Amino acid sequence: MNLANKITLARIFLVPIMMFFLLVNFDYLPPIRVEDFYITYNQIIAALIFIIAASTDGLDGYIARKRKMVTNLGKLLDPLADKLLVAAVLISLVEMGKCDAWIAVVIISREFAVTGLRQVALLEGTVVAASKWGKWKTATQITAIVAMLLNNFPFAFINFPFDVIATWMAALITVYSGIDYFVKNKKVLHFS
């Protein structure tokens, strides 16, 4: 197994660890409080794990291309790791009451739909390349998730709802990027 695939597997293994810190109650550790703002230590740890895992997404692909280590296993694992990470954290955030369920459903549904499109394209011998909207989707999702994980830090101090705005932006760009993939690849689905 090459380095790029090991990094991808590490991202997958970080998912349950991140969920543990998000969902297990550490009552013996009091939260950090500054005026009306509070955050728990386990939220901070989960956010750091998420940031590390999300940052390895580009790293594994870069290493695989740079060192000419692109494998079929990597092509399968990389998008799977991305979907697992985002779906797990969104479901956890819904459980914690930090994210509306409909936003999680929209984002996760788009991920499944585009993955299905890519699978159909592969069966047709075509590759659905990543688009600029797909990259924007990833960036806005990561930004929104980190803002929710950190209870809107540091914007909570100035009463600016950055987490809400970022979540709406992520949802809108996610939907748009999904539509963009299907419109640009409709020939794969034999709609034309």
Per residue in 95-112, pLDDT tens?
A: 999 999 999 999 999 999
Task: Give residue 59's pLDDT band: very low, low, confident or very high (50, 70, 90).
Answer: confident
- Degrees to nearest 5, angle at CA 138 with 124 and 71: 45
pLDDT at 146 over 90: yes
- What's the pLDDT score for residue 33? 81
- What's the pLDDT score for residue 29? 77
DSSP assignment, residue 68? T
152-181: average pLDDT? 95
pTM over 0.75: yes
Which of 39-43, 47-51, 88-92, 100-104 is predicted with the least confidence, judged by mean pLDDT? 39-43
Residues sharing a CB contact under 8 Å with residue 66, sequence separation 6 or more, in sequence order? none
- What's the pLDDT score for residue 77? 82
pLDDT at 191 over 60: no
Alpha carbon 171 to chain centroid distance? 12
Could you tell me which of 140, 115, 108, 145 has the C-alpha nearest to residue 130? 115
Q: What is the pLDDT of residues 105-142, one digit of tens each?
A: 999 999 999 988 888 887 777 777 778 998 899 999 99
pLDDT at 61 over 90: no
Backbone φ, ψ for residue 34 (5° rounding): -135, 110
CB atoms within 10 A of CB 106: 18
Distance between CA atoms of residues 105 and 62, nearest Å: 30
> What 3-state class would DSSP assign to 192?
coil
Which amino acid appears at position 158 of this protein? I
Q: What is the pLDDT of residues 8-25, one digit of tens each?
A: 899 999 999 999 999 988
Cα dihedral across residues 97, 103, 106, 109: positive or negative: negative
pLDDT at 162 over 70: yes
Distance between CA atoms of residues 147 and 161, nearest Å: 10
Average pLDDT, the chain: 89
Distance between CA atoms of residues 55 and 78, nearest Å: 13
Percentage of the chain lying above the pLDDT 70 cut = 99
Place of tokens 């299905």: 116
Distance between CA atoms of residues 42 and 17, nearest Å: 11
160-173: average pLDDT? 97
CB atoms within 10 A of CB 43: 22
Could you tell me which of 96, 70, 81 has the C-alpha nearest to residue 150? 96
pLDDT at 49 over 80: yes
pLDDT at 72 over 80: no
